[in-house]
Each structure stands twice: as C-alpha cells, then as structure tokens.
Amino acid sequence: MIELEDAAMQALDLIAAATRAAGYVVAIAIVDAHGDLVAARRMDGARPRWMRASLRKAYSAAVMDRDTEEFHAEIVRRNLQIGYYGDPMLTALPGGIVVAIGGATVAGIGVTGQTHGRDAELARAGIAAFAAAG
C-alpha cells in the first residue's frame, strides 16, 4: 500500500531539486486519484497564478487518468471544447502528469512556471518517489 502523503512530500523535493538544477522557478501541486490536494509547493519568485494552474493540471491528470498533453490531443482529435466534460477545474495545459501504479491512477502532479515548455518533464522528476513508495 502506497503512503501517498510521504511519497508526495518526497516528490515535491525531487521536483524542486530538478527545477533548481535547470534554473527555473515553479509551483507544484500533487493530488490523489480523486483530484484532492495532498501536497503543494510554491518556490520563491513564483507568480501568484502558477499555484492555481498547477493544481488544475494535477487535478486534470488524475481525474482523466492521462497526462494533460494527452487530454489536449483527445480534445483536438474529437473536435471538442473543454466545457464538454462539465468540470470547470479541468485544463489541457501541458504540465500535468498522471502517476499510476499497477495500471491504477494514484496521483496527479502539476507543475507551472517559466520553464520553456518543460513543465511535464520537471513533473516527471517526482515519479520516482511514488515508485519507491509503491
């Protein structure tokens, strides 16, 4: 059984370290499989809207069981508006990733910042914490 809170806190540290090493500042949100917030961090210098965006990215990845980039591709492929899904928290902005163990979603991670399109890559730095906890 995964210790979600412990894994989320470790994931925050891993993502923050990767972000600092890359020279960026971000906001990070980690949610459970239902999209409820488990842990978050806003690095010094992060813009106010970044935390809300990170939470929406993490939420969307978790409840849609796919990365937000994949969700965006589905919306485009099916020629839909995001409002079709009836959930105002959903976003298809890149930077939300799903964390799955044994094929089941256990969490979503969202990262937002001025990362030159590397939000999702930085979010993936936290997956190791869940793999170790699972």
pLDDT at 133: 72
> What's the pLDDT band for 134 if we cut at 50, 70, 90?
low
pLDDT at 75: 97
Closest CA to 33 of 15, 58, 13, 3: 58
Q: Is the pLDDT confidence value at 30 over 70?
A: yes
Residue 36 belongs to a domain with what CATH number?
3.30.450.150
- pLDDT by residue (tens digit) across 48-86? 999 999 999 999 999 999 999 999 999 999 999 999 999
Contacts of 16 (CB under 8 A, 6+ apart): 26, 28, 41, 43
pLDDT at 82: 94
Q: Which domain holds residue 42?
A: 4-133
pLDDT at 1: 57
Q: What is the pTM of this model?
A: 0.96
What is the overall mean pLDDT for the chain? 96
Closest CA to 49 of 26, 72, 69, 32: 26
Inter-residue contact 43 to 16 (CB < 8 Å): yes
Q: What is the mean pLDDT of residues 12-30?
A: 97
- pLDDT by residue (tens digit) across 87-110? 999 999 999 999 999 999 999 999
pLDDT at 110: 98
As for how many domains the chain has, the answer is 1
Inter-residue contact 92 to 67 (CB < 8 Å): no
8 SS3 class: helix
